Amino acid sequence: MKDLTIVILNFNSGEYLLKCLESIKLAKGEATIATIVIDNNSSDESFKLAQDKYKEARYIKNSENLGFSKGYNPTLKGIKTEYLLLLNPDCILEKGVIKKILDSYDADSMIGAATGKIILPNGRTDLTAHRGFPTPWASLLYVLGDDSLYHLTNNNPDFTHEVDAISGAFFLTKKSVLEKVGYLDEKFFLYGEDIDLCLRIKKAGYKIIYDPTIKITHFKGVSSGLKKHSQEITAANSKTRKRAMNAFYEAMLIFYNKHYKNNYPFFINWLVYLGIHSRWGLAILKKTV
């Protein structure tokens, strides 16, 4: 069996962290699994309850909320297994998923990351696991209602295929890949770090694979409270929601400035910045993204 380390970054995930850890037990016999739970200084009881109930996992507590990248990186850098799975605490695995994702990854030696079909509680597919890169043209089409470039809606979602970017909620990669392309960019506090990592993986010549035969449930937004479908289940307070909201749009600016700004003339950059700040303002009024 392959050796796999599953790493979960927790922040006020409540009972969902316990459900996530319980679901990992379904993968017994599919790989030799080590589970690490990192806590970003949660104010709820989720981390303590997990420690008490799932003693086989390793637990690391940060003294403050470091965000996604800074919260993950020190642990990722110290992991020895070749296979690493980043898993959100509000994700639920099904039996067979771990074996399938490892087999899918091993189908091609040039695969650098892989994911499956991530399903929201309402039954809809979470399209963040099936994305193209947000170039200015792809972003403009998305705003105008054409999702063919950003969420790759022209691709058949029922067949395994290559995509540009997948979600950090369920992100399988290898230690050797991260050592080659770099770990999570710590300029991103929350959001954007997964698509940034995917772009670096693709630039290094690797493929990123979406396999819809692998299905997991993602409650999404439990910690941040920004998603419409999670408004009733999140424990996020107004301060946490505001910080997550700002991080969501700051990530767009960080990503654009890092990867695209120097490729386009001033007026294109100006339009992109105008679009981001306009959507940011509307999101603040709606209190969701």
Could you report the per-residue pLDDT of 41-79, keeping only the tens digit for each? 999 999 999 999 999 999 999 999 999 999 999 999 999
What per-residue confidence (pLDDT) applies to 242? Answer: 82
Given a cut of 60, whether residue 225 has pLDDT beyond it is no
Mean residue pLDDT of the chain comes to 93
Beta carbons of 209 and 101 less than 8 angstroms apart: no
Q: CA-to-CA distance for 10 and 6, rounded, in angstroms?
A: 13
> Average pLDDT for residues 198-205, to the nearest whole number?
98
- Structure confidence by residue, pLDDT tens digits, 161-183: 999 999 999 999 999 999 999 99
Q: What is the DSSP letter of 264?
A: S
Given a cut of 90, whether residue 232 has pLDDT beyond it is no
Q: What percent of the chain has pLDDT above 70? A: 94
**Helix residue ranges, H only, the chain:** 15-24, 46-53, 67-78, 97-105, 136-143, 175-181, 193-203, 238-259, 266-286
Determine the residue type at 121: P
Q: Where are the domains of the chain?
A: 3-220
* More confident site: 283 or 82: 82
**What would the two tokens of residue 30 be?**
């599919």
Given a cut of 70, whether residue 227 has pLDDT beyond it is no
User: At the top level of CATH, which class does the domain 3-220 belong to?
Assistant: alpha beta
Residue 22, SS3 per DSSP: helix
Q: What is the DSSP letter of 152?
A: -
What per-residue confidence (pLDDT) applies to 158? Answer: 86
Beta carbons of 46 and 11 less than 8 angstroms apart: no
Confidence label for 223 from pLDDT (cuts 50, 70 and 90): low
Given a cut of 80, whether residue 231 has pLDDT beyond it is no
What per-residue confidence (pLDDT) applies to 237? Answer: 72
Q: What is the DSSP letter of 203?
A: H
> Average pLDDT for residues 141-158, to the nearest whole number?
91
The pTM assigned to this predicted structure is 0.94
What per-residue confidence (pLDDT) applies to 285? Answer: 80
In 78-196, where do the E strands start and end?
Answer: 83-87, 91-92, 111-119, 161-162, 170-174
Confidence label for 281 from pLDDT (cuts 50, 70 and 90): confident
Give the other-Cβ count within 10 Å of 109's Cβ. 8
Distance of CA 267 to the CA centre of its chain: 32
